Amino acid sequence: MPESVRKAVLSRDGWQCQAHARGFALDLPCWGHNHVHHVILRSQGGLNIPEHLVTLCQAHHIQAHDIDRAGAERAGLIVRS
């Protein structure tokens, strides 16, 4: 992903994890570095454009992909095409 896109997404999101704002994993505190996450997964045609990306902390990024994908989908952090 181009650095300019990554910085634009982080800036748009106020450099803050967006998980709690979307109602995802409210019992899990934020920790770790911020990541730029593909809401529309690259495997599903997601592009490196701000409309397809959101800021997540490391903890919520792991949670969304590896632990609670269904919850991430309900919160709009993963969109399947």
Tell me what percent of the residues of the chain surpass a pLDDT of 70: 99
Assess if residue 28 is contained within a domain: yes
Assess if residue 22 is contained within a domain: yes
Assess if residue 56 is contained within a domain: yes
Domain extent, residue 42, equals: 3-74
Assess if residue 41 is contained within a domain: yes
With bands split at pLDDT 50, 70 and 90, how would you rate the model's confidence at 24?
very high
Q: Is 81's pLDDT higher than 70? A: no
Assess if residue 79 is contained within a domain: no
- The pLDDT assigned to 49 comes to 96
Number of domains in the chain: 1
DSSP characters over 11-30: HHTTTS--TGGGT--TTS--
Read off the pTM.
Answer: 0.91
Q: Which of 30, 73, 80 is nearest to 55 (CA)?
A: 30
Q: Is 37's pLDDT higher than 80? A: yes
Assess if residue 27 is contained within a domain: yes
Assess if residue 81 is contained within a domain: no
Give per-residue pLDDT as tens, 45-67.
889 999 999 999 999 999 999 99
Assess if residue 80 is contained within a domain: no
